Structure 1
C-alpha cells in the first residue's frame, strides 16, 4: 500500500485511497475521497534535503536535528515519512507537538518524547527458545531468563521490554484458557462458551429481565434535576415495591460531591470513571501504566470516599474513559486493589442472543472489538459487565448519544422497544442503557425514555437494577416469582453514621490547581481541602 501512496503523492498530491495518515491536526483523519493535500504536505526528495530516510513505513523525526532545539515547539512539531527512498515532511497544527511513540499530534502537556527520533521497536522474546536453567522461566529477547509469570503481566521486566511486546491472546505465554464449566462454579466464577447461557441454568421465562441504567462523567447542578426530579422519582418502582436505581461512573472535574453523597444515600451505586478523564483517547489502552491506572481509579475512589463520604467497600466498579480498555495493566490493578467489576468491554455488534456478564477466570468468550486491548490473562472472580450494543436500524451504538442523531422521539421509543424484546424474548441477558446526561436535553428523547420505562414497570418480571445488584443476582440466581424477598434488591432503610448523612448546605470550596493552572470549585459536606484534589494528591493537601 505504501507504494501506491507514494505514487499518489509523487504524481498528483491527491489521496484517492482509503489511507490513514497522520495529518497536521491532533487526530487521525481517514480519507475516502479526493483530498487536495498540497496545502498540508511538503514533499522533499533525498536529493533536495539532508534528512535521512528511515524507510519503515512509520513517521519519525529528523535524526540530525539540532539537539539544543529538540524540545522547542518548532522542532518537536515536525515529523517525516520516507516512501520508496523519498522523504516527505509534515508539521503539526499550531499548539500541537508530535508524539513519535503514539504516532499522533497532541497537546504539549501530553508529549514527553521530543528527544526520541523514531518509534522504538520492541524485540520478540525468545520464551522457550532461550537456554534457561529453570524450567519455570522464559527468555527475553537478549536471552536473560525471568519467571514465566513476568511475561505479559503489564509491567516491563526485561531490559529490552520484550516481555510486554507480544502479548495478544495468541502470543501471551500466560494467556487464560477457555471456559471450564466443571471448575467454574457460582458464586465465585461464571463462564460459558459464548456468554449466552443464563446463570444457574434457569429457563428464560423464570429469569427476571434486568435493566441497567448507567451515567458517565461529572455529577453537578447541570444534571441534578434530571436525576432527582425526572428519572429516579419515588413513584417509579420495581415489582417488589422498591424505587428504581442506577449506576453512576463518576469522574472528578466539575463534580459536586454533596450531590454524589445524596445519590449514594438514596441507594444508587457510585462507581469510578477516573480523575482526569484525559486525552488522547488511545492513551488509556496504549500508554497508561499500572501506576497510571492506580493513580486514576484508586485515586478517584479516595476522592469520593473523602469528599462524598461514600463507603470505600461500596465502591466496586469502574469504567475506563472512552471505553478504551487497558489490557492486563488495567485488570491487574483492579485485582490487586479490590475492585469487583469492570464495565468497559463492548460486545460485538448484532449479537442475537445478547451476552451475559461473566467473570475473567477464563478467556473472554467473544471478539475484542473496536481495536481495543482486552485482557489476555486470567483474573479470577473479577466480573466483566460487558456492554451489549443497541441496535438502531442498520447501525449499532453503545452510548445512546452515539445512536443516529436524526431519530425523533418515536424512533427512539421504537429503538428501545426493539432492543428490549431482543433481550426479553431470548436469553434475558441484562439490557444496559448507557447514557451521558446531555442526551436527555432533547425533550422528545426524555419523553420517549419515560414512556419506555413506565411501560416496562408494568411488567412483573422486569427490574431496574444497578451493576452491583445485577452481580448479586448472578451469584445467587433467583426465579422471578421469588424476588419479592430477594434481599440484594430490597429497600430496607439503611443505617448511616452521622457524617454519612448528606448535609443541606455544603461547603463551596474555591481551590487552585497547580496542574490545571486554574481555579476549580469543589462542593462537599466536609471541610475544604487546601488544594484542588488531583492525581497523586487526591486529598488536596498543601505541597
Structure 2
C-alpha cells in the first residue's frame, strides 16, 4: 500500500468512526415521561446521557470511573452496575388518596408543626437579614477508602462556623461497600449519620410496608451494630434515587421514630422552599409522582430544592454532581455555586442543601471549585454549615444572628454523642454474599467482630440465619441485653 492510499484509509476510518459516534447520539432518545435524569449509554459504561427537558447531553465519566445504571452516577468499576438495565414497573401496592388538606397556619404552630402557603415563608415570620443562612452538606451512599479522605478534606476541621466550631455534614448511608469504622468516626466527631437503604433497590417506591421496614430499619440496625451508633442518634432517611415510597415510607418513619425525611425534590423555583411538616399537603409540585398524600403530623420533610443557574451552562439537578459542570475550571465552578447560592442568601435564606455522591470528588476541577466555595462561604458572618438535625433544631426554635454564638444546638463544646470512640484498627472482614444465583465476596471493616456472613435484608447482624430480623413491633431503642454487654467490652 502506498503512502497516499494509507492516508485515505485512515481518513475514511476516522470519518466512519465520527459518523458512528454522531449516529449514536442522534439515535439515543430520552425515555418518554421520565423527566430529567441520567441514563446509561447503550454502547459503553464509560459514558452516560443526561436528559434535560427531553434533550440528551452526552457525558463521559471521569478517568477510572464507570456509570452505574442503578444508582445513576459514575463510580468505581467494582461497584458499578453497567447498563442499560431494563426496569419493570412494579404494581402499586397502595392507591393514592388525596386526603391531606392545604396549609392552615392558624392551626399549625412551632415547634410541632410548620407550613406556609407555598413553602417559602421564613419561620416565625422573621426578617431574612436577621437570621442565619444554613448550608446542609449531605453525602449519599457508601463511605469507604475511596471517598473518606476527600470527605475529611471538607469536614476534618479546616473550615469553621462563625462560633469557631468545625463545619458539619450529614451522611445518608447505604450498606454495600461501606466501611463501618469510617462511619463510626464520622459520628463520633459530630457529623450526622442517617439512612438511605440496605440494597438501594430500584422500584422500592412501589413496595409494601414490610419491604420499607426491612430496608430502613435494617440499615439503622446495621449502623447500630457495626458502627456503634445509637438508634436515637439516627433521625433521618432518604429514599433511593429520590423516589419516596408514597404513604408507605412515611408510615414507617412515623412508626419507628424517625424525625425527618429528605427525599422530595422541589421543581426549579425562583424562591426556594423551607422544610415543612407533613401535617398538611406538600406546598409544591411532586416531581417524582410518589410523594405522600396523607397527613403524618410532626414528621418533617427537608426537601431538595433544585439547583440551577439561569443563562449558564450546567442544567438543573437535585444532586450537584448531576449538573453538567465537568468542563468547567475551578473558578467557573465557584461562580456557578455562588450564583446558585445567591438565590437563597439574597431572598428568604431557606437552607441551601448541597447534596453529593462520591463522583463529585473524583473530578479535580469540581473538588477544587467546592473548596473555593467553602473558603468563600465560611468568610461570611451569617453562614453556618450544620447537620440536617441541627437545621431542624433552629427551625423549631428560631434564633436571630446575634443569639447564635450561645445557641447550644450549634455549640460544639456542649454537644455530646452516644457513639463510642472508634478503635484504631478495625477488623477487616471478607464475607460471603449471594445475589441471585451469583455468590461473591464483600468486604467491610468494623470495630466489632466480623459477622458470619455479609449483613443483608432480614439478617442485619450477619448471623447467617435468613429472615432472622423482625422489626414490626420493635421500638426505636433496642432492649438492654447482649448489645449493652458488647458495649461494655
Q: TM-score, normalised by structure 1?
A: 0.68
Corresponding residue for 1:378?
295
Alignment partner of 1:514: what SS? strand
Alignment equivalent of 1:537, drawn from 435, 450, 459: 459
Q: 1:205 to 1:536 in 2, by over 3 A?
A: same
Corresponding residue for 1:420?
341
Moved over 4 A (4+): 15-22, 27-30, 94-99, 493-497
Relative contact order higher in (CA < 8 Å, ≥ 6 apart): 2
CA contact (8 A) 1:512 1:531 kept: yes
CA contact (8 A) 1:21 1:29 kept: no
CA contact (8 A) 1:21 1:28 kept: no
**Runs of 5+ consecutive residues of structure 2 not aligned to the other structure:** 1-26, 35-41, 43-47, 56-82, 466-489
Q: CA deviation at 1:411?
A: 2.1
Q: Residue 470 in 1 paired to residue 391 in 2? A: yes
Alignment equivalent of 1:258, drawn from 181, 187, 194: 181
Corresponding residue for 2:75?
none
Q: Residue 510 in 1 paired to residue 430 in 2? A: yes
Alignment equivalent of 1:184, drawn from 77, 100, 108: 108
Corresponding residue for 1:361?
279
Alignment equivalent of 1:284, drawn from 179, 201, 204: 204
Corresponding residue for 1:298?
217
Query: Could you say which structure has the larger radius of gyration?
Result: 1
CA distance in 2, matches of 1:345, 1:21: 18
Q: 1:237 to 1:17 in 2, by over 3 A?
A: closer
Q: TM-score, normalised by structure 2?
A: 0.75
Alignment equivalent of 2:306, drawn from 389, 408, 427: 389
Alignment partner of 2:305: what SS? coil
What root-mean-square deviation, in Å, do the aligned CA atoms of Structure 1 and Structure 2 show?
Answer: 3.0
Q: For residues 458-500 of structure 1, what are the alpha-carbon distances to aligned partners after superposition, in whole Å with 9 as ceiling and x for unaligned? A: 1111000110000000000000110001011110265567x81
Q: For residues 397-424 of structure 1, what are the alpha-carbon distances to aligned partners after superposition, in whole Å with 9 as ceiling and x for unaligned? A: 1111111133332221111111221111
Alignment partner of 1:523: what SS? strand
CA contact (8 A) 1:290 1:329 kept: yes
Alignment partner of 2:285: what SS? coil
CA contact (8 A) 1:359 1:380 kept: yes
Q: CA deviation at 1:453?
A: 1.0
CA distance in 2, matches of 1:428, 1:17: 38
Q: CA deviation at 1:215?
A: 0.5
Q: 1:433 to 1:18 in 2, by over 3 A?
A: closer
CA contact (8 A) 2:162 2:384 kept: yes
Alignment partner of 1:300: what SS? helix
Q: For residues 313-344 of structure 1, what are the alpha-carbon distances to aligned partners after superposition, in whole Å with 9 as ceiling and x for unaligned? A: 01011111111111111111111111111111
CA distance in 1, matches of 2:248, 2:218: 16
CA distance in 1, matches of 2:282, 2:85: 38
Alignment equivalent of 1:447, drawn from 342, 348, 368: 368
Any residues of structure 2 matched to 1:129-148 within 5 Å, and which?
none
Q: For residues 439-463 of structure 1, what are the alpha-carbon distances to aligned partners after superposition, in whole Å with 9 as ceiling and x for unaligned? A: 1222222221111111111111100
Alignment equivalent of 1:329, drawn from 239, 243, 248: 248
Q: 1:17 to 1:462 in 2, by over 3 A?
A: closer
CA distance in 1, matches of 2:125, 2:391: 16
Aligned residues between the structures = 395
Alignment equivalent of 1:202, drawn from 118, 123, 126: 126
CA contact (8 A) 2:329 2:369 kept: no
CA distance in 1, matches of 2:50, 2:190: 44
Corresponding residue for 2:191?
268
Corresponding residue for 1:232?
155
CA contact (8 A) 2:140 2:356 kept: yes
Q: 1:21 to 1:316 in 2, by over 3 A?
A: closer
Alignment partner of 1:331: what SS? helix
CA distance in 1, matches of 2:122, 2:292: 23
Q: CA deviation at 1:226?
A: 0.7
CA distance in 1, matches of 2:195, 2:32: 34
Q: For residues 122-174 of structure 1, what are the alpha-carbon distances to aligned partners after superposition, in whole Å with 9 as ceiling and x for unaligned? A: xxxxxxxxxxxxxxxxxxxxxxxxxxxxxxxx9x6xxxxxxx34x2xxxx26x
CA distance in 2, matches of 1:311, 1:512: 27
Q: CA deviation at 1:285?
A: 2.2
Q: CA deviation at 1:277?
A: 1.0
**Runs of 5+ consecutive residues of structure 1 not aligned to the other structure:** 1-14, 34-93, 103-119, 121-153, 157-163
Alignment partner of 1:406: what SS? coil
